[in-house]
Chain A
């Protein structure tokens, strides 16, 4: 007869920090740490604030359920962005959703420095960047935002479901476009 006791305690699955946090505490900690990043990302994907917040919370619920089922999550931040990204696409694609927004539409260029001379240069540059960003394709913009979140090309590829080399190409086009607009 086969004999097994409990599997690896769930709290050991997620991290190797040696701390004895429960699984609930670990996911709650990640939730506190990453929810704002995820929320902002979803807003920039075009979700209305309420849906972005709901979707963020749902992604963390899914993480808990997944871990509770014994699945290992080795890169929690990338995992949560992946789930959030796909949930957001579902929300956007849903027929009932008519509230997809252009997150850049409401943005105003504000002074970053009290120095009037620098202010003018800065504002011009920010204005150009703002318009250049608006001119990027959605994929280019998403890659840029995810790279700015610190993800590696491979992680971005997993999050948006394309190949690593495609991510490199999207980023190249995005940066080239920004550079041309701003510096040429």
Chain B
């Protein structure tokens, strides 16, 4: 009997092993145990035979008899064209960095247009594809039943009198700037599922999705003194931002694991380094998004001098923090690029800031998180070098 695995593994461990879900020491121990133990090997083969049998059944019996689609598939390009023609460009709050494929955007404007264009879709909100959302049965603008509204200052539609009080864009002190400043102070403008919209009368509605009780209280307290603001909290799962560990890569190995281990010294070092630089990159991208959002929202807005100064100060803070993270990132990545036979380019592309941040992030993901690419390691490293240089332009 193997000294590494004294007890026979349970079925779930065998299944996880055969599915490539068991990693590291656990996988090594089980592999060694299987070498020694006929009983467990037989059990594993049984499991695999069951899987094979099920797959044969699924392909040859089950799926072979499922009904064909009753109509021909729609040409969605036509629908996409229609959306492009009718839906306005994405606005602030519609762009939130969603890592690992979990989007967090509100698309109410799209919902309206889709309904108007007769597509039969109503997308009231789409914070997370896994959250239940009302669809075809829901009316335009209908809120999910899970929505809890906590108005800080009464702005109900029935309060006509109050509405006329806040009916202009020149609300004293511009509530939107105040909201942005308050959220910035909390660090809530860096990719948290908090968004806000401003209506034509200048009223601001702030919506937080799937926030914990403590965070809700903080936000409520921060916004409570601002006139003309409504705060909503919605249930549902927020966009996931899981810690990026190498375990997301199949079998725990990156496509260029050997080369990276040579450059960094060990598997653990590769994992630790990857997590560090990806976290730094997250910070850079979040700041770049925040800057772009500020620009989109306020660059051409009519603000009083105090409001303008406040926006500029927030932007300056984002810029400074981003520069710090970018410098740290470059300092860490440069020696590794050198070991991979390339370097941070002397001059990068004249990309917009967000593009440079996203490019950097994407190439870091390719190299250190196994994101798909058709480039070689040398090419990917070179792209990363160019993107990093572009962050400084």
Contact assessment for A53 and B71 in the assembled complex, using a CB-CB cutoff below 8 Å: yes
Q: Which among A40, A71, A152 has the greatest number of chain B C-beta atoms within 10 A?
A: A71
Chain B hits for A176, CB < 8 A: 11
Chain A hits for B62, CB < 8 A: 44, 104, 107, 130, 133
Q: Is A20 an interface residue (CB 8 A)?
A: no
> Please, how many residues of chain B have a CB less than 8 angstroms from a CB on the other chain?
94
Q: Is A142 an interface residue (CB 8 A)?
A: no
* CB < 8 Å neighbour of B99 from A49, A60, A74, A129: A74
A158/B90 contact (C-beta < 8 A), A86-B129, A175-B47, A183-B50 known: no
Residues from 345 to 377 in B contacting A, C-beta threshold 8 Å: 352-355, 358-359, 362, 365-366, 371-375
Q: Is B150 an interface residue (CB 8 A)?
A: no
Binds A, one of B78-86, B224-232, B260-268: B78-86
Minimum distance in angstroms from B170 CB to a CB of chain A = 21
Contact assessment for A175 and B133 in the assembled complex, using a CB-CB cutoff below 8 Å: no
The complex places the Cα of A75 from the Cα of B366 at a distance, in Å, of: 13
Q: Is B330 an interface residue (CB 8 A)?
A: no
Q: Is A94 an interface residue (CB 8 A)?
A: yes
Could you mark each residue 143-184 of chain A with 1 if its beta carbon is under 8 Å from any beta carbon of chain B, else 0?
Answer: 011011000111000111100000011011001101100110
* CB < 8 Å neighbour of B19 from A39, A147, A183: A147
Contact assessment for B67 and A49 in the assembled complex, using a CB-CB cutoff below 8 Å: yes
Minimum distance in angstroms from A21 CB to a CB of chain B = 12
Chain A hits for B96, CB < 8 A: 71
Residues from 49 to 104 in A contacting B, C-beta threshold 8 Å: 49-50, 52-54, 57-58, 60-62, 64-66, 68-76, 78-79, 82-83, 85-87, 89-91, 93-94, 96, 103-104
Q: Is B134 an interface residue (CB 8 A)?
A: yes
Question: Which residue of A is nearest B352, CB measured?
Answer: A5
Chain B hits for A130, CB < 8 A: 57, 61-62
The complex places the Cα of A166 from the Cα of B132 at a distance, in Å, of: 20
* CB < 8 Å neighbour of B70 from A49, A58, A90, A106: A49
A4/B352 contact (C-beta < 8 A), A15-B372, A31-B76, A83-B129 known: yes
The complex places the Cα of A103 from the Cα of B66 at a distance, in Å, of: 8
Contact assessment for B51 and A129 in the assembled complex, using a CB-CB cutoff below 8 Å: no
Chain A hits for B99, CB < 8 A: 72, 74
The complex places the Cα of A87 from the Cα of B133 at a distance, in Å, of: 7
A69/B95 contact (C-beta < 8 A), A75-B100, A91-B135 known: yes
Contact assessment for A90 and B295 in the assembled complex, using a CB-CB cutoff below 8 Å: no
Question: Which residue of B is nearest A153, CB measured?
Answer: B21
A71/B104 contact (C-beta < 8 A), A90-B135, A107-B65, A112-B56 known: yes
Contact assessment for A64 and B83 in the assembled complex, using a CB-CB cutoff below 8 Å: yes
Could you mark each residue 20-46 of chain A with 1 if its beta carbon is under 8 Å from any beta carbon of chain B, else 0?
Answer: 000011011001000100011001100
Number of A-B contacts (CB under 8 A): 248
Contact assessment for A175 and B51 in the assembled complex, using a CB-CB cutoff below 8 Å: yes
Contact assessment for B352 and A60 in the assembled complex, using a CB-CB cutoff below 8 Å: no
Minimum distance in angstroms from A184 CB to a CB of chain B = 10
The complex places the Cα of A73 from the Cα of B11 at a distance, in Å, of: 34
Contact assessment for B76 and A61 in the assembled complex, using a CB-CB cutoff below 8 Å: yes
Contact assessment for B57 and A126 in the assembled complex, using a CB-CB cutoff below 8 Å: yes
Minimum distance in angstroms from B390 CB to a CB of chain A = 12
Question: Which residue of B is nearest A112, CB measured?
Answer: B60
Q: Which among A16, A39, A54, A130 has the greatest number of chain B C-beta atoms within 10 A?
A: A16
Minimum distance in angstroms from B66 CB to a CB of chain A = 5
Minimum distance in angstroms from B120 CB to a CB of chain A = 8
Contact assessment for A179 and B129 in the assembled complex, using a CB-CB cutoff below 8 Å: no
The complex places the Cα of A12 from the Cα of B387 at a distance, in Å, of: 14
Contact assessment for A2 and B315 in the assembled complex, using a CB-CB cutoff below 8 Å: yes
Q: List 20 A-B contacts (CB under 8 A).
A: A2-B291, A2-B294, A7-B354, A15-B372, A43-B67, A50-B71, A53-B73, A54-B136, A65-B83, A71-B104, A72-B358, A73-B98, A91-B135, A107-B61, A129-B61, A152-B250, A160-B130, A172-B10, A175-B51, A179-B46
9 smallest beta-carbon distances between A and B, as pairs: A70-B95, A83-B129, A2-B295, A71-B103, A172-B12, A82-B129, A75-B101, A179-B50, A5-B352
Residues of A within 8 A of B (CB): 1-8, 12-13, 15-18, 24-25, 27-28, 31, 35, 39-40, 43-44, 49-50, 52-54, 57-58, 60-62, 64-66, 68-76, 78-79, 82-83, 85-87, 89-91, 93-94, 96, 103-104, 106-110, 112, 125-126, 129-130, 133, 144-145, 147-148, 152-154, 158-161, 168-169, 171-172, 175-176, 178-179, 182-183
